[in-house]
Chain A
């Protein structure tokens, strides 16, 4: 029996190779198929406030808006009325051209009147969330949208509330924004003003 040095070398090569792990996969990149666009009939520029009936109509009259939405009032007194707040609703803002820079959150001026027939134990808050489509990913390989939320307390007069940013760190650059709620208990929600806070 002759043991050649080459055999030992071969064994060493095989064993050395086998002590390494390997991974054979290239995870393909995720991507986003855009939803419907909402062009604005009015110029979109700072201070990014939608207050009049015509301005608020942009948030209601588009293919993305969802829910029992109606426009009430005229001119500067116009507001959005959501008569069935117990249902899911969405308000889609216009595409911002150019995009809004330095956005920190969103401000709502609202009235929220829960149904008086609700039982005393029923919840009377309404959770609303604003989603911001940013011009760049919030994090590498992250495809989420920036979100800011607030629980709206019942109010009979117009009240301003600033939504609290969630998983993003302001400021961000926004190409459009939309408001969404899964619904609350019965009641009527009215929105008089929407403003991007910068």
Chain B
């Protein structure tokens, strides 16, 4: 009898089958790993493109149209920099005019971003938000100064007329949102936040100079619209500082091209825009149902008295009807290009 005549072939056959199976499992695992890696790269690139788009939109200054973006950094159309804009690292792209009618204002933004070994491209339609300004009660052109509030500031982001309306932030300024919240918290009991007040927002400064030009061109009234009794809704411009010593009320849009200096009481429904800063002396009070927008070379808001800011969509809409207010840039749609 010849021993081993069948054992060796059987062992070899088993080894071959096992090796084939093992190789198949390994190949399957390899394919799944490659697929997972590709998916991860595609997802990372998609997220990077979305992040780039979000930053690009956040970087567009509030305004009325998007012509400045199409003209590029030099502000002149027909030059090589048309449509170029500052984008975050790892992201390239540019703006171009959207097809169709000029209104509503909108542009096309093409972006390409790379991340995690992947690359994605998209085209977005950018326009202006339907609501004016940022959804914030106090919009500042610079981060607030510490210890600017010796009195009290009450910020209530809930709408005075519609409790179901989306709440507003207390503060918007061109600074890190967490830093703004830190400032609000750091003022301690001097700043009271209503239950419906949202966290602070990062925002570009209010376009106060452009607003001043538009207000002047709209034949505004003067400070006479501020009255002790029931006010009429009006567009008002005060050229220079406005001192309030009595108890006055107003409604609509009030532009103070100087310092708003309050020793008495001012109760306004709508939007108050101040180019020189707000000073509320001890014993004075400023109440705005709507929004307060301030751009000043020095400290923007110094409060020794009392300031109360409440959301009022009705007040904002009334002001917007008197004079179209600036809007933030908004994403109107996108499509992935690959």
Chain B associates with chain A: no
Please list the residues of chain B having a beta carbon within 8 angstroms of any beta carbon in chain A.
none
